[in-house]
Amino acid sequence: MSNTPPPIPPSSGPAESLRDFVARTAERDRGHGLFELETPRFLEVNLNGRMNIKVGSMVAYEGQIKFTREGIMDQGIGNLLKKAVSGEGMRLSYAVGHGQLYLADTGKKIIVLNLKNESLVVNGNDVLAFEPTLPHKITMMKRLVGFAAGGLFNVRFDGSGLLAITSHYEPMTLRVEPGRPVTTDPNATIAWSGNLNPQLKTDVSLKTFFGRGSGESIQMFFEGEGFVVVQPYEEIYFQAQGG
């Protein structure tokens, strides 16, 4: 499956004047505070200090803002070792200053969450921005190295603060209940409640049918009580070994 989203078809409506276009697409101050959704795919950060953002997500800014990529030791020795094992990491930069910062990620839909002493685990590729006061750490699933090459890393958030995550198109949340486990494709899994501890498993029949290199032969298995969020799109960053 291609990792490139389908192109957006051109508008079939009548042409509009330049004045109307500028007025329709103009940035608007909605008074929503630190994080404002300008559109479903543009996030405005009303910066007054520092913000953690995904590397490459800045598309524009107004004011006095400087950007610094996260240092290799900024998350501590434990997270450094997890980066080394996975070949991946939480690719962060710090935006510091005062002004309006506009973020986006390949046209993906943006969801702003306000965590209130709660725990959430998010696929590292789907984290767009979060307050520096929100504690986070890189987590890796058990038996990961035996299943995957290239790595699948997640970021666990515990506490209170604003968090912006992304999804290709509209996400869906599935409830996980005792006796009713949920199985998902890792490439379509965005986030899950922090009390769940998903396991990786292989489907032998799928592995045989699709080939050893198919990500669809590897699945995430959730059991207990909580929820898991999936998107209607497979981002190809996780593949089985031996393909």
Does residue 25 belong to any structural domain of this protein?
A: no
- 114: CATH: 3.60.160.10
Does residue 13 belong to any structural domain of this protein?
A: no
The predicted pLDDT at position 13 comes to 67
**Residues whose CB is less than 8 angstroms from the CB of residue 231 and which lie 6 or more positions away in sequence, other chains included:** 167, 168, 169, 171, 172, 188, 190
- Distance (Å, whole) CA 63 – CA 66: 10
In the predicted model, is pLDDT for residue 78 greater than 60?
Answer: no
For the chain, what is the domain count?
1
In the predicted model, is pLDDT for residue 107 greater than 80?
Answer: yes
Does residue 157 belong to any structural domain of this protein?
A: yes
The predicted pLDDT at position 31 comes to 63
- Cα–Cα separations (whole angstroms), residue 73 to 30, 51, 80, 210, 229: 38, 18, 7, 40, 30
Show the beta-strand stretches assigned E in 55-181: 58-69, 92-103, 109-123, 127-130, 136-140, 148-149, 153-167, 172-176
**Highest mean pLDDT (candidates 17-26, 173-182, 196-205, 208-217):** 173-182
Does residue 1 belong to any structural domain of this protein?
A: no
DSSP state of 1: -
Does residue 21 belong to any structural domain of this protein?
A: no
pTM of the model: 0.78
Does residue 90 belong to any structural domain of this protein?
A: yes
Does residue 43 belong to any structural domain of this protein?
A: yes
Arithmetic mean of pLDDT, 29-58: 91
In the predicted model, is pLDDT for residue 241 greater than 50?
Answer: no
The predicted pLDDT at position 202 comes to 80
The predicted pLDDT at position 87 comes to 37
The predicted pLDDT at position 50 comes to 95
Domain enclosing residue 196, as ranges: 31-240
Does residue 2 belong to any structural domain of this protein?
A: no
Show the beta-strand stretches assigned E in the chain: 35-39, 42-54, 58-69, 92-103, 109-123, 127-130, 136-140, 148-149, 153-167, 172-176, 182-184, 189-193, 199-202, 218-222, 226-230, 239-240
- Distance (Å, whole) CA 243 – CA 240: 7
